[in-house]
């Protein structure tokens, strides 16, 4: 028989006989209340990190920047900078940026933020168990959604974490963020879900809906995974509001799952088509209804028409995300691809309806027709330039003084060199109003906001 021995955490040093006599009561006491050293430290958080951690990578990018030195370098006056921009030697700089990512496919496909790899000339990935970096290539990106896919160039089988789901999140449930803050390597923070779909205004023409948590997301965490307590991938960490300490945001993984096939196959996200043109409600209507967008037009035979939507309907939500403005509607639509379905909550009179719309591919020339109707002028290509072909009497362009024959040189500070460029810009900015145009007449140019 083996002699009786106390567990390591229960052993007591004793040299006195009287302490030995007290051993049975002490044994009962320690058995009833085990010290902290005896508790199982493999908590659900530990298990979740062990499951997901091997698939989390650090991302380092290099960017080549060229700058021409001028006699007025450092002066704030843009006139001198512009006047002397063609003088002086060109200097080349190499800048670096850090971020995070998560391997979602054993072949080495990594999901991260678009801004992490933006303008990168080279991309490097470091796995947790490797000291060396592996070079990676860009497969596709969706800047408006802030997601991108890169692939590790070296062949092999890599630890991967498959996307789970984010449509069943519970307020208050524990979440875990893993990333590469400040280039320090793996860092783990925990928090709770405070909103499953938090609307955040990115700029005046773009909003997004995020998972909001209080898990700390510091610089370098961007692109890293957000996990639930089971270690499932439920989001991609993307931002933190610096003015509100402790508030972090993650892109719901359901958004990534919708656009991933397009990014892998085409490198970009094609525009989805509903056939709806929407506008904002009057202030009184907004106050009465609590939000929503007004359906101004339903294109014949479009997906929206087939779903039974009508002029005058008020759309109040898309797949559970409240719609407060046309910006919300068009921004949400950018997170879908042709073939996806969207569930709309519709207010028609005093009735609340549900309509499911199966999205289609944007028809040819639809964006040009939409632009002509919205801004009040059509365009044509003349000798490699884009010119105003006709102006709608009484329309926005007519009221501001645009004439047939004027040239359209820029839209939202992006140059227009051909009709193809103009069409692509109209597709990308479909639904955004107003837009800023650079109109050129003769030797003079002027900027206008339409409508």
Give me the pLDDT at residue 317, please: 95
Whole-number percent of the chain with pLDDT over 90? 61
Q: And the tokens for 18? A: 């009287």
Peptide bond into 434 cis (omega under 30): yes
* pLDDT band of 247, cuts 50, 70, 90: confident
The structure tokens 């799952």 sit at 257
The answer to whether 405 and 383 have CB atoms below 8 angstroms apart is no
What is the pLDDT, as a whole number, of residue 185? 67
Q: Token pair of 359, please?
A: 């999205």
Class (C level, CATH) for 272-361: mainly beta
Residue 4 pLDDT class (50, 70, 90 cuts) = very low
User: Active site includes 369?
Assistant: no
pLDDT in tens, 75-116: 444 444 554 555 555 677 678 888 999 999 999 999 999 999
Residues 395-422, buried b or exposed e (16+ Cβ, 10 A)?
bbbeebebeeebbbbbbeeeebeebebb
Whether 403 sits among the annotated catalytic residues: the reply is no
Give residue 1's pLDDT. Answer: 47
Higher pLDDT, 286 or 21: 286
The pLDDT score that the predictor gives to residue 291 is 84
Q: State the CATH class of domain 174-266.
A: mainly beta
Segment 267-283, tens digit of pLDDT: 999 999 999 999 888 77
**Tens digit of pLDDT for each residue in 44-78?**
999 999 999 999 999 999 887 766 555 544 544 44
Of 100, 115, 324, 406, the active-site residue reads: 115
Of 129, 115, 126, 212, nearest in space to 171 by CA = 212
Q: pLDDT above 70 covers what percent of the chain?
A: 82
Is residue 19 within a helix (H) or strand (E), and if so which, with residue range? helix 17-21
Q: Are strands 314-318 and 293-298 parallel, antiparallel or unpaired?
A: antiparallel
Ranking 10-14, 21-25, 29-33 by mean pLDDT, the lowest is: 10-14
Tell me, what's the pLDDT at 8?
A: 47
Taking residues 357-372, what's their average pLDDT? 92
Catalytic residue among 100, 146, 232, 313: 146
What are the extents of the domains in the chain? Answer: 55-152, 174-266, 272-361, 368-450
List pLDDT tens digits, range 420-451. 999 999 988 888 888 999 999 988 999 999 98
Please give the class, per CATH, of domain 368-450: mainly beta
For residue 222, indicate whether it is catalytic: yes
CB atoms within 10 A of CB 39: 10
CATH number of 55-152: 2.40.10.10
Q: Phi, psi (5° rounding) for residue 260?
A: -55, -45
272-361 matches 368-450 in fold = yes
What CA–CA distance (Å, rounded) separates 165 from 184? Answer: 29
Q: Is the pLDDT of residue 167 over 60?
A: yes
The reply to whether omega before 389 is within 30° of 0 (cis) is: no
Active-site residue among 100, 166, 208, 222? Answer: 222
Residues 6+ away with beta carbon under 8 Å from 410:
416, 436, 437, 438
């Amino acid at each position: 028989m083996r002699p009786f021995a106390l567990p390591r955490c229960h052993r007591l040093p004793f040299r006195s006989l009287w302490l030995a006599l007290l051993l049975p009561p002490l044994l009962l006491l320690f058995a009833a209340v085990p010290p902290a050293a005896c508790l199982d430290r493999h908590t659900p958080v530990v298990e979740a990190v062990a499951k997901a951690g091997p698939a989390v990578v650090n991302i380092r990018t290099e960017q080549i920047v060229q700058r021409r030195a001028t006699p007025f370098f450092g002066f704030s006056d843009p006139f001198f900078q512009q006047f002397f921009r063609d003088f002086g030697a060109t200097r080349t700089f190499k800048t670096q940026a850090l971020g995070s990512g998560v391997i979602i496919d054993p072949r080495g496909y990594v999901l991260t933020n678009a801004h992490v790899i933006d303008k990168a000339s080279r991309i490097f990935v470091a796995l947790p168990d490797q000291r060396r970096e592996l070079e990676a290539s860009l497969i596709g990106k969706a800047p408006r959604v802030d997601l991108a896919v890169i692939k590790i160039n070296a062949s092999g089988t890599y630890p991967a974490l498959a996307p789970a789901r984010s449509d069943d999140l519970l307020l208050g449930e524990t979440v875990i963020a893993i990333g590469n803050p400040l280039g320090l390597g793996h860092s783990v923070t925990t928090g709770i879900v405070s909103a499953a779909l938090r609307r955040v205004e990115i700029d005046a023409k773009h909003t997004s809906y995020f998972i909001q948590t209080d898990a700390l997301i510091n610089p370098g965490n961007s692109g890293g995974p957000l996990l639930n307590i089971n270690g499932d991938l439920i989001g991609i960490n993307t931002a933190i509001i610096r003015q509100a300490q402790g508030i972090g945001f993650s892109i719901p993984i359901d958004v990534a799952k919708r656009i991933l096939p397009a990014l892998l196959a085409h490198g970009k996200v094609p525009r989805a088509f509903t056939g709806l043109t929407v506008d904002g409600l009057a202030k009184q209507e907004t106050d009465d209804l609590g939000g929503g967008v007004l359906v101004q037009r339903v294109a014949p035979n479009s997906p929206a028409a087939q779903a039974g939507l009508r002029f005058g309907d008020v759309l109040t939500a898309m797949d559970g995300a409240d719609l407060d403005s046309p910006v919300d509607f068009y921004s949400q639509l950018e997170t879908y691809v042709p073939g996806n379905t969207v569930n709309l909550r519709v207010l028609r009179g005093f009735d609340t309806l549900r309509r499911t719309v199966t999205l289609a591919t944007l028809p040819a020339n639809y964006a040009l027709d939409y632009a002509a109707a919205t801004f009040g002028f059509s365009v044509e290509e003349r000798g490699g330039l884009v010119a105003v072909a006709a102006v709608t009497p009484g329309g926005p362009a007519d009221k501001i003084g645009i004439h047939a024959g004027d040239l359209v040189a820029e839209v939202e500070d992006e140059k227009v060199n051909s009709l193809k460029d103009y069409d692509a810009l109209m597709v990308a900015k479909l639904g955004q109003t107003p837009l800023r145009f650079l109109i050129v007449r003769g030797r003079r140019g002027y900027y206008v906001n339409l409508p």
